[in-house]
């Protein structure tokens, strides 16, 4: 329906320009005007969200591609390429939705609100750039652009140990991106090297076209570099230690964006960059990816049980859920590696549900962090032992928390179920092909632990006798703005839970054009 | 790219056209003490010397855009390379003079003499960029060094400045001595001081002990000017002790002059004899590669422990020189393009940082990390500029430092324009990237002090408008070179191709 209109206007670049203008506009709203910054940010992020939603109705997403030559030296070509397919679409949609809702949720932010919104809009710019770029140079720049606003977000608006958390976040992820940069250099220049006479073209397409001629050893080594860069971002055990610190100290808006969309950059990078550019390397690394995924899943779940801080528990659950994403990727690779005659349509299932799990986790974790953020700032503490019996006093809060927890533990009918279900299904197929069906025990353990710690946490905070350890007399239920943000997310969670095919349809168009390594 | 008609310049000025940008600055230098004596107004003297630099720069830009090449009796050659380098030195002089006017560190100096010395030094740098003879280059370097000693020593009341000046003169004298010794050996071996003729003569001679000594003393002698490790010891003391505009001039200008000498002498010489003397060339390439690796590592590691921002920037300059030296090791047109691009990026980012430092010293804030605490609230614009400049120095995209590092480091992988990928210098790229990661740590300390930590004072910082103008100009350069490198890259590659034999 919108195909003709979108063929005329450069909508993808608008998705970058609008947040940029929003960031600049809010930056200069100092002094008296700073209380209006939230409306400006709301308007800009709202328009971005509308554009992102309209993009869903473009029938042929492959049409969406914008290509501008950027640097054309004698032996290096760098282009400003934006491209959109089913995978990018879901991530862009998630980014636009969460940024808008974060602006709504953070309406009561009173400490320098203009800079707060500048940082949010700058992050939106970087995230959109990462999910849309189809050129390694642009991809890397946008990857780094997300880093600096998050650093300031944590160190300006965070909790008591914010400086430590911010610098830890910055150092971990910056070193990871430098390793990734070396990997990017390696694939681009190797692509130029295997085809004599070809200049170093940084576009994804040029590298993918040459990837068939990469040597085995090269692929294995460079996949290691790229995988390290992406795995730190996801984060996977043992490179996860920055995450709990960053989350606990970050303000609610920062946590929502960090867990909801920034962690997805890691898994997005693996799928978009590493699997495409280095298929043989991916196959070689399949078992290691599997081990990392299983350790993340089990360790993340166990760590959740041990937490007394509600937000820290949710942070560790992100490690568990992102482990599920990695498991889906590993399942596809292992199936191809071990099945006697791999079938492309079965091999796709793992990647497909890994992407769905990314989307689902983005929605669910946003609810969880908003609930935790509300807990911290309304009750003054997030320590589970100090809470109790809140359901009677705060019914709306209790409802949102229950929906969030249930969705996160994978209750059928909510969005979290389909992600885990699909990933575990694909992993079963892969484990069968490997002849090691017993590996599925780890998944069952994760489901069990997930249900355990969520229900236990819920029981201790919401039900039972009302707590006397903190003063509840002045506590009000969630505000209208907060309730609106949470309600929108809960409706979407239920919607995709009942009708997952809506999202799966986009993922199917993506995986149909996606070359699963080895098939 | 752009084509403009510049024949009127050549018609008007005749044979002095190739040296025109230099001559205008020298005229300014000669007039400056007189102008100050007559008018006795510090700001007027500053403005007049600025005007001379601007007029010279306008002519230079016209010549560059018109793709002018010409030679002045075979002694000086104006081409795309020397033109671009003269532009760089003029930019440095412009920034330094602009902030020297209002800076509190330069008010008590002999104003007329100060600007005169600065203009002479600028002319000397242009002299080096255009000269095509070893002796002329030597004279040009001295023309920069001697005014520099005087400018450092001019802050008479400050014992740090006197110490710095003494160190600088002794080290400078040593380096001149080494250099002239090397040149005389080379003259004895080849019978000429013209670089092209020396290269032609060396192509037929093999390695001799005399040649090794000549090259070693010349590399060391000019290494002092670049402050390449292990010849860097003087730089932090001098940059810290001198008035900040002078430090800026030395760190961004005088250092580039050393690099220009390296390029004009060693780069040209060894590119010429590469085919005839592969072993000699390769061994020299490794000498420069090790020099580059040591310089960047020493600079970055020593910068980490500094508490004085000026001193930290001095060590960071040493590290940055290490990156630029990579071009000498890789010895290709693309590497030289990257190095030239880097030189310009360095002028803007390091210049911007020094301008902020100078502004804060003038405003009475101080120059240590402790004084910078909570500065973001007290001076939002200057803090933002400092943030952009140090992030650019650390190589964070999309700023000039990243783009420049990208071009330069990529030349370690694809050495030449249109050539295939080579694995010879990949280790050097690794060392450089690793160094960039280390450097982020101390740059982040400046940002942390300004933006995160709380200061004792909440009072707004007021600085003269000239500082703000200079800083904004620098930061615009940082952003422009970072975001849209294409047009400028063209001129850099023209310059690199002009110098390739």
**What is the distance between the alpha carbons of residues A300 and A322, in angstroms, rounded to a whole number?**
10
Position A185 confidence tier, pLDDT thresholds 50, 70, 90? confident
To the nearest whole Å, the CA of A91 is away from the closest chain B CA by 23
> For residue A103, what are the CA distances in angstroms to A44, A121, A439?
10, 9, 43
> For residue B372, what are the CA distances in angstroms to B238, B396, B449?
22, 22, 6
pLDDT at B418: 66
| Residues in contact with B204: Cβ distance below 8 Å, sequence separation at least 6, in sequence order | B276
Averaged pLDDT for residues A275-290 = 93
Which is nearest to A5 in space by CA: A51, A67, A70?
A51
Q: Tell me if B461 sits within 8 A of B375, measured CB to CB.
A: yes
| Residues in contact with B158: Cβ distance below 8 Å, sequence separation at least 6, in sequence order | B241
Residue-wise pLDDT tens digits, A457-475: 999 998 888 888 888 888 8
Give the chain B residue nearest A78 (alpha carbons): B486
**What is the distance between the alpha carbons of residues A289 and A156, in angstroms, rounded to a whole number?**
36
To the nearest whole Å, the CA of A474 is away from the closest chain B CA by 32
pLDDT at A329: 95
Helix (H) or strand (E) segment spanning residue B256: helix B255-262
Q: Do A73 and B451 touch (CB under 8 A)?
A: no
The segments of chain B whose pLDDT lies below 50 read: none
φ and ψ of A346, to 5 deg:
-80, -40
Position A63 confidence tier, pLDDT thresholds 50, 70, 90? low
pLDDT at A76: 82
User: Looking at per-residue confidence, does B240 or A109 come out higher?
Assistant: B240
> For residue B331, what are the CA distances in angstroms to B32, B324, B412, B415?
41, 12, 10, 8
Residues in B closer than 8 angstroms to A166, CB to CB, are: 452
> For residue A2, what are the CA distances in angstroms to A61, A143, A323, B385?
11, 30, 37, 43
Q: Do A192 and B420 touch (CB under 8 A)?
A: yes
Q: Say how far residue B52 (Cα) sits from the centre of its chain.
A: 20
Among A72, A75, A175, select the one facing B414 at the smallest CB separation.
A75
- A70 touches B at CB < 8 Å: yes
Partners of B191 in the β-ladder: none
Domain range annotation of chain B: 317-501
φ and ψ of A135, to 5 deg:
-145, 130
pLDDT at A93: 94
Residues in B closer than 8 angstroms to A148, CB to CB, are: 391, 396
Residue-wise pLDDT tens digits, A334-388: 999 998 888 888 899 999 999 999 999 999 999 999 999 999 888 888 898 888 8
DSSP A388: -
370-399 in chain B: CB under 8 A from chain A: 391, 396-398
To the nearest whole Å, the CA of A75 is away from the closest chain B CA by 5
Residue B368: count other Cβ atoms within 10 Å of its Cβ.
16
Is residue A62 scored above 70 in pLDDT? no
- A195 touches B at CB < 8 Å: no
- How do strand B76-78 and strand B70-72 relate by DSSP bridges? antiparallel
- B414 touches A at CB < 8 Å: yes
- In terms of C-beta density within 10 A (0-12 exposed, 13-18 middle, 19 or more buried), how is residue A381 classed? middle
pTM: 0.86
pLDDT at B2: 65
Give the chain B residue nearest A156 (alpha carbons): B452
pLDDT at B144: 95
Among A71, A156, A174, select the one facing B485 at the smallest CB separation.
A71
pLDDT at A407: 94
Structure tokens at B178: 């080494």
Q: Which of A16, A31, A68, A73 to mutate to test the interface with B (most CBs of B within 10 A)?
A: A73
**What is the distance between the alpha carbons of residues B195 and A360, in angstroms, rounded to a whole number?**
68
pLDDT at A470: 83
Residues in A closer than 8 angstroms to B429, CB to CB, are: 185
Helix (H) or strand (E) segment spanning residue A296: helix A279-306
Which is nearest to A97 in space by CA: A395, A503, A420?
A503
Averaged pLDDT for residues A35-43 = 90
**What is the distance between the alpha carbons of residues B442 and B452, in angstroms, rounded to a whole number?**
15
Is residue A284 scored above 60 in pLDDT? yes
Q: Do A196 and B420 touch (CB under 8 A)?
A: yes
Among B409, B437, B493, select the one facing A73 at the smallest CB separation.
B493
Residue-wise pLDDT tens digits, A85-100: 889 999 999 999 999 9
φ and ψ of A462, to 5 deg:
-95, -35
Structure tokens at B150: 């005087």
Maximal CA-CA distance, chain A: 76
């Amino acid at each position: 329906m919108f195909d003709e209109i979108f063929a005329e206007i450069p909508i993808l670049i608008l998705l970058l320009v609008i947040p940029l203008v929003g960031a600049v506009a809010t930056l200069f709203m100092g002094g008296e005007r700073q209380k209006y910054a939230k409306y400006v940010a709301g308007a800009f992020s709202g328009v971005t969200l509308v554009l992102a939603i309209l993009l869903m109705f473009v029938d042929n997403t492959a049409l969406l591609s914008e290509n501008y030559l950027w640097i054309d030296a004698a032996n290096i070509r760098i282009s400003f390429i934006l491209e959109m397919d089913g995978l990018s679409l879901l991530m862009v949609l998630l980014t636009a939705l969460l940024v808008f809702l974060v602006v709504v949720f953070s309406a009561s932010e009173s400490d320098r609100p203009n800079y707060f919104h500048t940082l949010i809009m700058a992050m939106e710019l970087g995230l959109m750039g990462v999910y849309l770029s189809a050129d390694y140079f642009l991809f890397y720049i946008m990857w780094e652009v997300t880093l600096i606003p998050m650093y300031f977000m944590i160190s300006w608006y965070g909790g008591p140990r914010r400086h430590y958390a911010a610098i830890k976040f910055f150092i971990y992820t910056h070193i990871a991106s430098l390793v990734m940069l070396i990997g990017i250099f390696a694939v681009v220049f190797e692509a130029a090297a295997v085809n004599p006479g070809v200049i170093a073209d940084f576009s994804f397409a040029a590298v993918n076209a040459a990837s068939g001629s990469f040597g085995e050893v090269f692929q294995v080594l460079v996949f290691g570099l790229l995988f390290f860069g992406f795995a730190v971002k996801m984060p996977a055990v043992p490179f996860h230690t920055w995450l709990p610190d960053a989350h606990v100290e970050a303000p609610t808006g920062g946590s929502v964006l960090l867990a909801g969309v920034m962690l997805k950059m890691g898994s997005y990078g693996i799928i978009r960059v590493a699997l495409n550019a280095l298929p043989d390397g991916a196959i070689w690394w399949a078992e290691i990816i599997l081990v990392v995924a299983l350790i993340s899943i089990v360790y993340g779940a166990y760590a959740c049980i041990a937490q007394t801080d509600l937000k820290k528990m949710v942070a560790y659950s992100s490690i568990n859920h992102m482990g599920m994403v990695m498991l889906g990727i590993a399942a596809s690779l292992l199936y191809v590696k071990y099945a006697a005659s791999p079938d492309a349509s079965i091999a796709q299932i793992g990647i497909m549900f890994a992407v769905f799990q990314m989307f689902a986790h983005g929605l669910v974790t946003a609810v969880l962090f908003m609930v935790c953020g509300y807990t911290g700032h309304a009750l003054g503490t997030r320590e589970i032992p100090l809470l109790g019996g809140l359901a009677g006093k705060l019914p709306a809060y209790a409802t949102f928390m229950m929906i969030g927890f249930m969705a996160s533990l994978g209750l059928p009918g909510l969005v979290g179920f389909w992600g885990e279900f699909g990933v575990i299904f694909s992993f079963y197929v892969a484990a069968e092909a490997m002849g090691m069906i017993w590996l599925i025990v780890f998944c069952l353990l994760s489901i069990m632990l997930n249900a355990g710690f969520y229900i236990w946490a819920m029981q201790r905070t919401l039900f039972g006798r009302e707590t006397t350890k903190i003063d509840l007399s002045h506590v009000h239920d969630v505000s209208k703005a907060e309730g609106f943000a949470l309600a929108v997310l809960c409706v979407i969670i239920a919607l995709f839970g009942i009708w997952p095919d809506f999202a799966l349809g986009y993922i199917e168009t993506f995986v149909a054009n996606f070359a699963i390594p080895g098939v | 790219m752009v084509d403009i008609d510049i024949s009127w310049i050549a018609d008007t000025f005749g044979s002095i056209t190739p040296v025109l940008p230099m001559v205008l600055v020298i005229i300014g230098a000669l007039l400056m003490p007189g102008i100050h004596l007559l008018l006795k107004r510090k700001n007027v003297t500053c403005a007049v010397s600025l005007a001379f630099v601007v007029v010279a720069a306008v002519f230079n830009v016209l010549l560059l855009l018109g793709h002018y090449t010409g030679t002045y009796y075979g002694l000086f050659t104006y081409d795309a390379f020397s033109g671009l380098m003269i532009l760089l030195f003029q930019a440095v002089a412009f920034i330094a003079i602009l902030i020297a006017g209002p800076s509190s560190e330069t008010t008590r100096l002999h104003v007329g003499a100060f600007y005169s010395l600065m203009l002479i030094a600028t002319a000397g740098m242009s002299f080096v960029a255009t000269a095509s003879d070893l002796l002329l280059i030597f004279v040009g370097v001295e023309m920069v060094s001697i005014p520099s000693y005087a400018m450092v020593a001019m802050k008479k009341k400050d014992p740090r400045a006197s110490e710095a000046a003494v160190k600088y003169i002794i080290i400078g004298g040593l380096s001149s001595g080494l250099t002239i010794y090397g040149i005389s050996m080379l003259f004895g071996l080849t019978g000429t001081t013209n670089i092209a003729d020396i290269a032609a003569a060396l192509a037929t001679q093999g390695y001799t002990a005399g040649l090794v000594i000549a090259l070693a003393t010349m590399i060391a002698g000019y290494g002092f000017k670049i402050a390449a490790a292990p010849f860097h010891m003087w730089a932090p003391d001098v940059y810290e002790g001198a008035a900040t505009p002078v430090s800026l001039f030395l760190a961004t200008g005088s250092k580039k002059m050393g690099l220009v000498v390296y390029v004009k002498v060693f780069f040209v010489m060894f590119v010429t004899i590469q085919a005839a003397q592969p072993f000699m060339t390769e061994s020299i390439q490794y000498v420069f590669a090790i020099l580059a690796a040591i310089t960047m590592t020493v600079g970055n590691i020593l910068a980490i422990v500094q508490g004085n921002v000026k001193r930290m920037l001095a060590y960071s300059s040493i590290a940055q020189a290490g990156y630029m030296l990579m071009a000498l090791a890789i010895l290709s047109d693309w590497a030289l393009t990257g190095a030239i691009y880097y030189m310009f990026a360095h002028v803007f980012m390091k210049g911007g940082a020094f301008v902020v430092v100078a502004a804060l010293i003038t405003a009475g804030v101080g120059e240590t990390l402790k004084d910078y605490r909570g500065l973001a609230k007290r001076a939002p614009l200057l803090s933002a500029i400092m943030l952009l400049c140090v992030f650019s120095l650390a190589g964070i995209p999309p700023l000039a430092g990243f783009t420049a590092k990208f071009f330069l480091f990529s030349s370690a992988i694809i050495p030449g324009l249109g050539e295939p990928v080579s694995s010879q210098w990949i280790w050097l790229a690794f060392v450089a990237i690793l160094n960039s990661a280390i450097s982020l740590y101390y740059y982040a300390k400046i940002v942390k002090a300004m933006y995160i930590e709380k200061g004792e004072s909440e009072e707004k910082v007021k600085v003269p408008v000239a500082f703000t103008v200079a800083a904004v100009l620098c930061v615009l350069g940082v952003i422009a070179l970072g975001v849209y490198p294409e047009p400028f890259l063209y001129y850099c590659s023209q310059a690199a191709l002009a110098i390739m034999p």
